Amino acid sequence: MKEDATSNKKMQLQRKQLMLNRQKLQLQMKSVQKKDASQDMSMKESAWQRKEGKNKEGGLNEKGRKSYERENPGSDLKAPQPEGGPRKRSFCARMGGNKGPMKDEKGRPTRKALALRKWKC
């Protein structure tokens, strides 16, 4: 009788340990899944770095400017000012002096060339 009681207790302890191990594994799997989901979100680039945030004629579109401002608090990007003014002169002086080609290897204008054209520099 004593052997049966001790063997029952041992089996109950083993069951409890198995249940605890199973619960630990489930919690670990949930945390791994959460990490994967958060990494997927952080791996996605912002709109200002992707095609959808860029203007075909050069520079950023409104969506690109807003996404840049969200990532960089305190920044205040404005739309191009091709008609003139101090912002245009300043931009043309800065951007025109940047190193880099105006066309890529396929003969298409680079982002630099497009931006300068958009600002009418």
Q: Where are the domains of the chain?
A: 1-44, 46-78, 80-121
pLDDT of res. 109? 92
Angle at 50 between CA 77 and CA 93, to 5 degrees: 40
**Dist CA 117 CA 18 (whole Å):** 69
Q: What are phi and psi of 96, to 5 degrees?
A: -65, -25
pLDDT digits (tens, 9 = 90+) for 6-64: 888 888 888 888 888 888 888 888 777 776 655 555 557 888 788 888 888 777 888 99
> What span, in angstroms and rounded, lies between the C-alpha atoms of 12 and 90?
79
Letter for the amino acid at 40?
Answer: D
Helix (H) or strand (E) holding 38: helix 2-43
What pTM was computed for the model? 0.50
Q: What is the pLDDT of residues 81-121, one digit of tens each?
A: 878 888 888 989 998 888 889 999 999 999 899 988 888 88
* pLDDT tens-digit series, residues 65-82: 998 998 888 988 888 887
